[in-house]
Amino acid sequence: MNSHRAVSPPEPQSLFLRASLGLEVEQTPIWLMRQAGRYLPEYREVRKKAGDFLSLCKNPDLAAQVTLQPVERFGLDAAILFSDILVVPEAMGMVLQFLEGEGPHFSKPLTRLSDLDRLNLPDPEVQLDYVLATIRAIRRQLPAHIPLIGFSGSPWTLATYMVEGGSSKKFTQIKTALYNDPVFLEGLLERLVTAVVHYLNAQIAHGVDAVQIFDTWGGVLGPEEYRRFSLEPMARIVAGLNRQRPDGSRVPVIVFSKGCGGYLETIATSGCDVIGLDWTTPLAQARSRLGPGFALQGNLDPAILYASPQRIRSEVRRLLEAFGKQNGHIFNLGHGMEPNIDPNKVPVLVEAVREESRRIRAR
């Protein structure tokens, strides 16, 4: 026996954490992006009580309550912190509003290098204390065997909102900056990397079990630009995270770059444990391109929830059959739940994932 062998870290018990690390599971774990939200009547009720979306994010008791709603209603395998990616730019000093029916709005978008002087580096314990209080409140109420996923936006995705002033279709302002003033854009991304490292490390310190980086707009970039302006900053974040808990267990990192199925080999260089896929890349193809070293998360089209229960079941079966018995899969949709879906479709999806994945594994 090798007496120098390091003591191996404890193996996680939850399906989600086991699958994140590529370990054997008896059934495929499932959670859903935007699992808490407007499609749930109980969410709309609590949101009304809070007044508006941002006030809900800033009320730890109510934010914890809506985090738990879908986990309790559907028995999902993980909870995701209820918050928003845009609280980070707000904490850096930008003025954020969510306009009814229009989405997020920043009143003074960043346009040039000197605008970066308006940004400060937030101390998460101060400017984002309400998020950390929400994490503690969730942890007190969430059953110990259900992991809590923390998150942040990617620097590129956050920068699109900060430069465009809100949601965008063509990304004209930020792409103009990218080609004409890369020093400005890189300066902004650099500040976001630092802010996000501090923020995610604070989330980990306050009790999240895994973190996801949402790179919703990575897919608007060409391959070279994706590498430089989206992937590189995310890789610097991943390198800066405290991924080891005091007991030696690992905090898995999920990178979800939407629309980036063509860039999987680049994403694999980020240092992440799990790669999130939208619905345009077949799961088995992603596995053969990446090998077994990465867990995969996804990836049915969220619009599947508009289909009949029979069709939902057959699509789940098709996806799981194509992937087969391999380890390292977390079921999710390829993007967030839409506000107008029927919540009664969700149990159909959850049961189908459990039944089909058990059946395939038992063969």
Question: What is the contact surface with ligand CP3 in residues (CB under 6 A)?
Answer: 33-38, 47, 53, 80, 82, 84-86, 98, 103-104, 151, 167, 214, 216, 336
The three-class DSSP label of residue 215 is strand
Closest approach of Cβ 211 to ligand CP3, in Å?
Answer: 11
The tokens describing 184, both together, are 């400005």
Q: Which of 18, 43, 77, 161 is catalytic?
A: 161
Give me the DSSP letters along 160-203. HHHHHSB--SS-HHHHHHHHH-HHHHHHHHHHHHHHHHHHHHHH
Closest approach of Cβ 326 to ligand CP3, in Å?
Answer: 26
Taking the least distance from each CB to ligand CP3, the nearer of 55 and 249 is 55
User: What is d(CA 357, CA 359) in angstroms, rounded to the nearest whole number?
Assistant: 5
- Residue 77 annotated to the active site: no
Taking the least distance from each CB to ligand CP3, the nearer of 134 and 356 is 134
Residues in contact with 151: Cβ distance below 8 Å, sequence separation at least 6, in sequence order:
80, 81, 83, 85, 211, 212, 213, 214
Taking the least distance from each CB to ligand CP3, the nearer of 127 and 157 is 157
**Of all residues in this chain, which one has the CB nearest to ligand CP3 in the complex?**
216
Closest approach of Cβ 111 to ligand CP3, in Å?
Answer: 21
The three-class DSSP label of residue 126 is helix
Q: Which of 38, 139, 245, 250 is catalytic?
A: 38
Q: Which of 44, 73, 84, 181 is catalytic?
A: 84
The tokens describing 79, both together, are 């909870």
Closest approach of Cβ 250 to ligand CP3, in Å?
Answer: 22
Residue type, 255: V
- Residue 84 annotated to the active site: yes
- Residue 354 annotated to the active site: no
Closest approach of Cβ 139 to ligand CP3, in Å?
Answer: 16
Question: Which run of H or of E encompasses 301?
Answer: none
Strands 329-333 and 295-300: parallel
- Residue 47 annotated to the active site: yes
Taking the least distance from each CB to ligand CP3, the nearer of 229 and 323 is 229
- Whether the CB-CB separation of 336 and 301 falls below 8 Å is answered with no
Q: What sign has the CA pseudo-torsion 185, 129, 42, 15?
A: positive
Q: Which of 18, 43, 47, 263 is catalytic?
A: 47
The b/e string for 12-42 (b: 16+ C-beta within 10 A; e otherwise) is bebbbbbbbbbeebebbbbbbbbbbbebbee
Taking the least distance from each CB to ligand CP3, the nearer of 86 and 356 is 86
Closest approach of Cβ 154 to ligand CP3, in Å?
Answer: 9
- Whether the CB-CB separation of 265 and 289 falls below 8 Å is answered with yes
Taking the least distance from each CB to ligand CP3, the nearer of 103 and 324 is 103
Q: Which of 34, 73, 191, 228 is catalytic?
A: 34
Active-site residues, by number, are: 34, 38, 47, 84, 161
